[in-house]
Copies of this chain bind each other. A is one copy, B any other.
Amino acid sequence: MTTDAQPTPAPPATPAPGPSREGVADALELLGLVAQLEHTAFVRLAADSAIAPTVEQRLALSRFAAAAVERRDRVIARIEELGADAATTLQPFDDVLDEFDARTPPSSWWERLLKAYVGYGVADDFCRLAAQGLDERSRAVVLDVLDDASHAELAVAELDAAGAQDDALSSRLALWGRRLVGEALSVVQRLVAQRPGLARLARAGAEPEAAAADQTVATDVQASTNVPTKVFGELTAQHTRRMGRLGLTP
């Protein structure tokens, strides 16, 4: 979007068009977040694999864990293409889900599954939205990686089967889902408040026309921290759809 905004009659003697310097800094915030989320997914899935009740589940979960490492490393490859160091770029997001985890201890295997599905669902939706503000190549990497997050399938299949046979479980999980989405949305709120780059990308993603018209958006901190309500509206709508897929009242 920023690279092909207008025709350039005489292209300057630079390599292939890439993001601007501010664009790179913002992109690294989002890439660092996505990579860290995938790493956290790996840690969680590996822990699930170690305690899963059957060998089949252990095998399946370990494969999901390995796939999360592979996805994280695709994002890291892009981080390194942009000339940044992987560890430094991931570090700021090291504890991104710690408070969410501390505030929402699951009390059963089902609550644990739903938590992963809802928690990562909201985080992934936010990243998908903010990815619209990225340079083309970074955006392609992020969207590819998020589309591959197949561990959601396991959660959906298991939760769907369990809930269909148990009304009491369904209503407990519906309640749990409402708690989870509230906590997940406040993670996103904190993130955009603390990370102006993420805020700018989310704004560009939610209001592409406004961002395209305003070429100074990447350096205009005042405007960028004002993340439109549209972002949270979109995240809530996606959550509602997600709970619907499980047959749970959102």
Contact = CB atoms under 8 A, between A and B. Distances in A.
Contacts of A94: 55
Contact of A46 (B42, B54, B86): B42
Contacts of A43: 46, 49-50, 62
A65 interface: yes
Contact-size category for A: 20 to 34
Contacts of A42: 46, 49, 62, 65-66
User: How many copies of the polypeptide does the oligomer hold?
Assistant: 2
Interface of A: 39, 42-43, 46-47, 49-50, 54-56, 58-59, 62-63, 65-66, 69-70, 72-73, 76, 86-87, 90-91, 94
A66 B70 CA distance: 8
A133 B49 CA distance: 32
Given A66-B66, A66-B69, 4 more contacts: A43-B49, A46-B49, A46-B65, A59-B90
Nearest to A40: B50
Contacts of A69: 62-63, 65-66
Contact of A58 (B39, B50, B59, B66): B39
A65 B39 CA distance: 12
Nearest to A50: B43
B55 A87 contact: yes
Contacts of A63: 69, 73
Nearest to A42: B62
23 contacts: A39-B59, A39-B62, A42-B62, A42-B65, A43-B46, A43-B49, A43-B50, A43-B62, A46-B50, A54-B87, A55-B86, A55-B91, A55-B94, A56-B87, A59-B76, A59-B86, A59-B87, A59-B90, A62-B69, A62-B72, A65-B65, A65-B66, A65-B69
A150 to B, nearest CB: 14
Nearest to A45: B46
A73 to B, nearest CB: 7
A28 to B, nearest CB: 15
Nearest to A44: B50
Nearest to A86: B59
A58 B39 CA distance: 9
A192 B65 CA distance: 33
Contacts of A39: 58-59, 62
Kindly name the residue among A55, A63, A73, A86 whose own CB sees the greatest number of chain B CB atoms within 10 A. Answer: A55
A135 B77 CA distance: 40
